[in-house]
Structures are given as C-alpha cells and as structure tokens.
Structure 1
Amino acid sequence: MSAPIKNVLIAGASGSVGAPILKALLEEPSFNITILSRGTSAAKFPNGVPVKRVSDDFTTSELTEVFKGQDAVVVAITTTAVVEDVDGSKGGLAFRLIDAAVAAGVHRFIPSEYGTNNLDPRPRKLVPVYDRKGEVLEYLMQKANDSHGKLTWTSISCGTWLDWGLDPARSGNFLGIDVKARKATIWDSGNSRTAVTTSANTGLAVARALTHADLTENKQVFLADFTTTPNAIVHALETQTASEFSIQRKDSVPELKSLREKFDSGEFAATFSLLAITAVADVDVAYDLEKEQEIWNEKLGLPKITLEDVIGDAVKLAKGS
C-alpha cells in the first residue's frame, strides 16, 4: 500500500472543467491544495489557497520546480490549448506537464480526460481532440511504466456534462438545447445513447480517486450518473415545463464533414462544435459507457443523480434567468 496522497496541485482550476474539481478537492480535509496559474492570468481563486504562477510558456523547468513536493497533479487544462514545442519536449503543454511530474517525483498524475474513452479508436478517428488526448494518455502510461512505480496515473472519463450543457452562461447551450426559449436542435435520430455525469460528481470522483489511491492506481475510471438520449432529454424538459419545444432536426454527416475540414485547415475553434455534435449525433464515439465499461460511481461513493434531477435544476435555472 502506497503512502496517502496529501499534497495536490491542480492546473486549470478556473475553467469550466477545473472549477468543480477544485471545489471537491478543497472540501476534502486530508488534502493540501495548490493551484498552478499563468503569471498573466486574471483568474480569481479562493482565499487562503496557495497559487504558484509560471510564465505563459509553461516550460518544463518551471513546471518541475512548482511540482516538487506534490504527491499528485490534477490537470484540467484543455488538451489542444498549447500544441507547439517550447523547450524541446514532446509537443504540447499536456506532454510537458507529464515530463515535469516525472522530473519532480510526483506520485499520481490525473490528465485532462473527462469525456469518452480516449484509448478507443472510434472517437479518435472522428474527433481530433480525442486522438490528442489518447496520445497524451499513452505517453503518460509509458512514462509511468518506465518509472517502475514511482509515477502512477488515473484517468477520469465521465461522458457528457448535461448540467453544464443546459446552462447557457457556462456552455453557450453546448448541446443545442435552449431551455428558456423552449427550442432544441436534434441531430439525426435523437436516439444516440450518451453517459451523463454531473460536473459536481465529476469533481467529487477526482477527489475520491485520490483518497482511494490504491484502488484507482493506473486505472481508467469511467463514470455515469445515468445514460440518456437527446430525445429523452427534450421529453423530460417538455414534461417538467408543461410545454412543447420547437424542434429542428438536422443531418450530422455534412456538418461533421465541414467542421473536420475546417479543423484540418487550422480552424481549431471547430473543435467545440465537433465535440458538441458527436456527443448527441448518430456516430459512435464510445459514449455509451454503461454498455462497454465498468462504472465506478458506486465504488467511489458518488451520490445518485437522475435525468429528472438534472432537468429540474435546468428548468429552475431558466426560470430565474
């Protein structure tokens, strides 16, 4: 049994992914939390939490110095944010974070996964960011293997954040469903099955993965509060609002082809739409986690959450906006 994890550093704590993770980490009394931030960042963090600032280049040497003394590093920075070499390391910040963790003697590393199974060839073929995340996880696994137990890893795959996707202030109506305006875009049949984990339960799962470090060592942790479809989401919204939604149905094939061409030509902003559409269209990006993977919610003691719970919160939010 390895020593308990106490000192935890989180990178990307102010973002939509990082904020719920930071909240859960801060609520675990056994952890000492440190935040990694760019020196030029204007992000605000909770009082009393140490913040280590580095240059916008995030060089391996700077990161190594910051990581010293940390038992675990949790990454919540988008994988495609930095893709160029800075100091000769394998291209991209995601790789440099791993290199720095190895150099600093970090024991547990949680990469920026938080979606589908990024080792699966199906999503990697369709969406470039999944392929990039897969490369990062493979690199991390190899570095951990080379370390002979000094570095370990845990990856968290949680499907879709429906609570985030139905909150326009946080996601810009990521899934194409506007609760307040009572309208939705449904791609293809609307019957694609997608695992859903709330952002709060994802953050809690990260904290629990570290408090149960032996259980989650060198494991892919798959989460699903429930599995649903776009049609079921809209039906639940119509039921709880007692109103009919205006539905626009679209074919995903030409749109995905166009978005992929844009991405390949250098328009990295197309990534957001690629992720959004593939999460709900009739394409196989391995999002039916309950069908294909062992689900860890019960092992990690996560609260049970239903589709009706998430829809109820979304409806209340829309009424108050």
Structure 2
Amino acid sequence: MAAPKQPRNITVVGGAGSVGAPIVASLLATGIHQVSVITRAESTAEFPASVRVHRSGYADEEALAAALAGQDVLVLALAYTAYDAQVPLIKAAARARVPYVVPCEFGSDATHGALNAEIALMRVKKPYRDLVESLGASAWIGVVNNPWFDFCMRGGFLGVDLKRRTATLLDGGRVRANFTTLGRVGRSLAALLSLPGPELARHGNGWVYFSSFAASQRDILDSALRATGTAEAEWAVTHGSALEVRTRAKEATARGDHMAGAGALFALMFSDGFGGDYGDKVVDYARLGLEPEESLDQVVKELVDELGP
C-alpha cells in the first residue's frame, strides 16, 4: 500500500542540470511540495513560475543559510567538477537547521567493498557525507541508482551503440545489473521525500536504492534489435573481457587519464561480484506509490526514436 504523503519545503542546487531538472520536475508533479532552487548569480537558467529562485554564489555561506531558512530538505545535484561546492552548502544547511541533505551521490553502491576498492570516485564522495554528520544538524540520504541508463545509452557507454548499431559484449554479455533512468531517479526521489516523517527518518544517514530495471548487455542488445526492427546480423557485434577493460582502465589512470575510471566502472557493472546487481536492496516502490519497474523495451524504443536513423 502506498504511504500517505507529507508536504515539505525542498531546495535543489543544480536544478537545471541533467540530474537536477528531472528532480525539480518530479517534485513539482507531486503537487504538495514547495520547491526552491539555488543557482549562481550569473546563471540564465529558467524555472517554472511556482519555483522560488535564489541567485547566489555557492561560497556565500551566510546568504545560503538565509535562503535555506525554513527548508526541510536540501538536494545537491552538482556536476562532478563542482563537488567541493557542496562544503559551504552543507555548512549553510547546518546553520539553517535543515533536517535532510541529499548529497551528490547518484551513483553506484558505495557500501560495496569490492567496488570501492576498484573505483576511487566512490571514496571521493565520502567526506561530504562525513561533513553532514559532523555538523550534527542534518542527516544525509545517499541515492544509489547505478549509471543513468538513458544518459549512458546516448553515449554508447554500456557497450550498445544505438546510433552506430555496434555492440561489444563483455564476457558474453550475460551479467545483469540494475540501471535507472534520469526521470525515474527524479520520480523516485520525489516520492521518497513525500514519505511521512517517521518513514523518511529511517533513511537518515543511510542509502536508498533506486532502479528502473535489471538488464544485461545481452538484454539491452536484444531490446535494441526489437526497437530498430533489425537482425543481429545487421549490427557489428564484438566480444571482449571485462577484466581486460578494467586492466586497461587502471593503466590509463596510472598514466594520468582521470576519465579512464568511467570505463572501468561500466565494465564492473557487468562483472560478477562488484555490486552492479543490487535487486535485493531496491526501495519498496509500492510504498512510494510507483510502478515496480520501467519497461526496458519502452525506454530503448524512446531512445531509438530520439536518436533517429
């Protein structure tokens, strides 16, 4: 049974970005929350009339605290290159006594030991969670969603390139992982932040796992064949080793290529034993009032239509 909904005052930082925009839209779609955004003074981003917009530098802690007065939740949806901007925002949230902070997580399972040992980015995010706890005023809620499915498919990062009709299947493409679309992340978070106080409190200083579906590379390729009305013989399909991809990524990282870690992460998602499949941890979507999963075929078909021939 879906939980009753509780309205809240929620502020989003990065509300015009790839992650933030669906969150803002989903919060508004609930019809119960008062939504605000904090954006840089020079930003030209536009928001619906119902959204309160605070234009401020992210480093002005006093101004940020004033903007956050009376807020129940601060959602941080900043780009990877702006993670350090979270520090004054988190401190301002503590000054304003904001009960919950959703930091820049929106990634893979930070509790999985083997995955953390392989991907340094997982450890980079921890100090921001620690800062929230150390200030003692707010609780953090970490979102796990694995690489955003639609974003990654647009770039061919999951080994299936819809535009070029190529696929590279690692270890036969058999390992399944959970994936979440950007829209599903927004809807899931909006529903979570609508939970009654005692239920939301249970997620404080802990993790919530979102998912659209679990799929292997083979599942994704088969869905792409259905969406395009093509046969596999019309695609250039090659095979590779996830371990080899990870090894090459480590070597590239050692040479100073800091983006190589992304390639390793995608390979790890399709490797047994690295936390890509977290189906047993996914949030209770019935309680959130959402469908248990999205349709892989529908999402892939929409991407095919978007990308064109």
**Aligned partner (choices 228, 242, 253) of residue 241 of structure 1:** 228
1:287 aligned partner: 276
Which deviates the most, 30-39 or 44-53? 44-53
1:261, distance to aligned residue in structure 2 (A): 4.9
Q: Structure 2 counterpart of 1:285, which letter?
A: F
Contact map agreement 1:184 1:247 (CA 8 A) in 2: yes
Please give the secondary structure, in 2, of the residue aligned with 1:40.
coil
**Aligned partner (choices 31, 34, 57) of residue 32 of structure 1:** 34
CA distance in 2 between counterparts of 1:138 and 1:53 reads 27
**Closer/same/farther in 2, CA of residues 284 and 44 from structure 1, 3 Å limit:** farther
**Closer/same/farther in 2, CA of residues 189 and 155 from structure 1, 3 Å limit:** same
Please give the secondary structure, in 2, of the residue aligned with 1:309.
helix
**Closer/same/farther in 2, CA of residues 128 and 4 from structure 1, 3 Å limit:** same
Q: Could you report, residue by residue, the CA deviation over 1:153-202 in whole angstroms, capped at 9, with x for unpaired residues?
A: 32221234323322x3xxx3332322132212223332222112222221
Contact map agreement 1:9 1:72 (CA 8 A) in 2: yes
What does residue range 147-186 of structure 1 map to in structure 2 within 5 Å? 147=137, 151-166=138-153, 168=154, 172-186=155-169
CA distance in 1 between counterparts of 2:169 and 2:99 reads 44
1:77 aligned partner: 78
Task: Find out whether 1:113 has 2:105 as its counterpart.
Answer: yes
Q: Could you report, residue by residue, the CA deviation over 1:35-56 in whole angstroms, capped at 9, with x for unpaired residues?
A: 111223343333452222222x
Please give the secondary structure, in 2, of the residue aligned with 1:215.
helix
Task: Find out whether 1:187 has 2:189 as its counterpart.
Answer: no
2:69 aligned partner: 68
Please tell me the root mean square deviation across aligned C-alpha atoms, in Å.
2.7
CA distance in 2 between counterparts of 1:31 and 1:48 reads 10
2:243 aligned partner: 253
Please give the secondary structure, in 2, of the residue aligned with 1:81.
helix
Q: Structure 2 counterpart of 1:195, which letter?
A: N
1:297 aligned partner: 285
**Closer/same/farther in 2, CA of residues 121 and 297 from structure 1, 3 Å limit:** same
Q: Structure 1 counterpart of 2:200, which letter?
A: T
2:94 aligned partner: 102
CA distance in 2 between counterparts of 1:254 and 1:160 reads 20
1:99, distance to aligned residue in structure 2 (A): 2.0
Structure 1 residue runs of 4+, over 6 Å off?
Answer: none
Contact map agreement 1:17 1:76 (CA 8 A) in 2: yes
1:142, distance to aligned residue in structure 2 (A): 4.6
Please give the secondary structure, in 2, of the residue aligned with 1:109.
strand
Using structure 1 for the length normalisation, give the TM-score.
Answer: 0.81
Contact map agreement 1:154 1:216 (CA 8 A) in 2: no
What does residue range 309-320 of structure 1 map to in structure 2 within 5 Å? 309-319=298-308
Q: Structure 2 counterpart of 1:184, which letter?
A: A
Using structure 2 for the length normalisation, give the TM-score.
Answer: 0.84
Unmatched runs of 5 consecutive residues or more in structure 2: none
